[in-house]
Homo-oligomer: A and B are copies of this chain.
Amino acid sequence: MAATPVWSVDPRTGKQREQVAVEATSREVDEAVRAAHAARGALADAVVRAAFLRTAADLLDESAAHVVEAADAETALGPGRLTGEVARTTGQLRAFADAVDEGAYLDVRIDRADPALTPPRPELRRYKVPLGVVAVYAASNFPLAFSVPGGDTASALAAGCPVVVKAHPDHPATSELCASLLRRAAVAAGLPPEVVAVVHGFDAGLELVRHPLVTAAGFTGSIRGGRALFDAAAARPVPIPFHGELGSLNPVVVTPAAAAERAEEIGAGLAASVTLGVGQFCVKPGLVLVPEGADGDRVTGALTKALGETEPGVLLDHRMRENFIAGVSERAALAAVTAPVTPGSGGEHTVGAGYLTVPARALVEGTDGGAASGSSGHELLLEECFGPVTVVVRYADQGEAAAVLGLLSGNLSATLHLSAAETEGGAGPAAELIAQVTTLAGRVVVNGWPTGVAVAPAQHHGGPYPAATSHSTSVGGTAIERWLRPVAYQSVPDALLPPELREANPLGLPRRVTP
């Protein structure tokens, strides 16, 4: 059987640029996983791992121009955005190197023996060990920060786990380039290059999650693809954790007082957030609750103006463009839905930005959440539509806003726009809204926009299903926790303990000691 070629495609023209690779066969996936597994011991030394991550960051920075050019050619995300993404990616690699140096992620806990207790307590020393080979599924929309050199890879390597990345078909050349840089960095740090591998192909991705030596997976992508892989991970003879980020609507609520105070600023800010990266962010605001009435009209007026002035953009691939155009049409055809700025085809290869609007009553009644028997298909408005479009829901009062929020499943983010007085607490809808959206999302934003997920120790990029398939985060300091498991050592003599747990604490790790 001939190998299936993997092409790099220019989304600006839809034309194949070059053949980059071939899809991995079962045997090739097996070989990559086995080689990664065999290399895992080399990652045991934290000093080497930190050096590896920093060298990888340095090599990416040095090659930034080349990487940006490669990524732009097959994603059309533009040099500005991609240059920023290189910085985000290298910053993330260095942040995980710092986390390795600091060592809090090992969560060392020591209980001293206490023979006076009933029953007597033996000495217990606990830390965390790496799981083994991690499968990473790259995202379409971040060819760097959520792909080969991205957060899943960086956090897994930081934890001491070798990584096999299933490349995204939208940027195979960038994937290969980044993999070669990571492997060069590994060698420079004295590690075998097999600690990072890349495979291409849908079937290879499925083989990967089923491979007996794969111990965990990280995924960023669609609900459909992610759920299929989640199901495969759970159905294994030995199930493995599957940390997937699957999809999010990212609701926004604009209170009447906020609209009264700064309608134009909110409308313009919303337009900018919706169209950032041509609407291809997982935290794009996809459902915006705007009050009925004149102040709300000023919000949508500003949104209409800003979206009307937005240049058409190129989506990551032509299938996405078709899905976007079809998804918008299907939503626009629902009862009571109008399209003040119709998003859609802006040319043979581009799409224009826009938005739809629907009264809250119609949305609630048109879904299973309505009192009427059966729905009229409005659930579709509660599904993510990838691309530069959002749905504005006009609500009459807080009860209606709460009813709409009550229809939603899990989200990566939820955003509130409040007035200055409302931010001061006390009476008013703000506290109730905060409480309600906390149940819906992994991150709550006030008077800002959800796009732009800071890489920071306290970040949480996850949320109730389907935002995430686990309660972990794929961005921020705690993302490393996904790739580790605890082990407790009971009455193990000091000389036989791993250095991380020895009494003298030779690595200077933070630890919680129970005397």
A→B interface (CB under 8 Å) = 84, 87, 104, 107, 109-111, 118-119, 121-122, 124-126, 129, 131, 230-231, 234-235, 238-239, 241, 409-410, 418, 423-426, 430-431, 434, 438, 441-448, 452, 454, 456-460, 462, 464-466, 469-471, 473, 476-478, 484-493, 495-496, 512, 514
Contact = CB atoms under 8 A, between A and B. Distances in A.
Q: Which 7 A-B pairs have the closest CB atoms?
A: A425-B495, A234-B234, A109-B458, A460-B488, A471-B485, A423-B493, A124-B458
Contacts of A473: 486
A118 to B, nearest CB: 7
Given A234-B231, A442-B486, A490-B443, A87 B118 contact: yes
A149 B297 CA distance: 56
A486 B514 contact: no
B409 A492 contact: no
- Give the copy number: 2
Nearest to A512: B457
B234 A488 contact: no
Contacts of A456: 111, 121, 124, 514
Nearest to A475: B488
Given A234-B239, A488-B444, A490-B448, A454 B119 contact: yes
Nearest to A410: B238
A460 B111 CA distance: 12
Contacts of A485: 442, 462, 464, 471
B486 A438 contact: no
11 contacts: A107-B478, A109-B457, A126-B459, A238-B410, A238-B466, A423-B493, A425-B493, A426-B495, A434-B492, A438-B487, A471-B484
A476 B438 CA distance: 28
A514 B441 contact: no
B445 A491 contact: yes
Contact of A488 (B109, B110, B443): B443
Contacts of A465: 238-239
Contact of A446 (B110, B425, B438, B491): B491
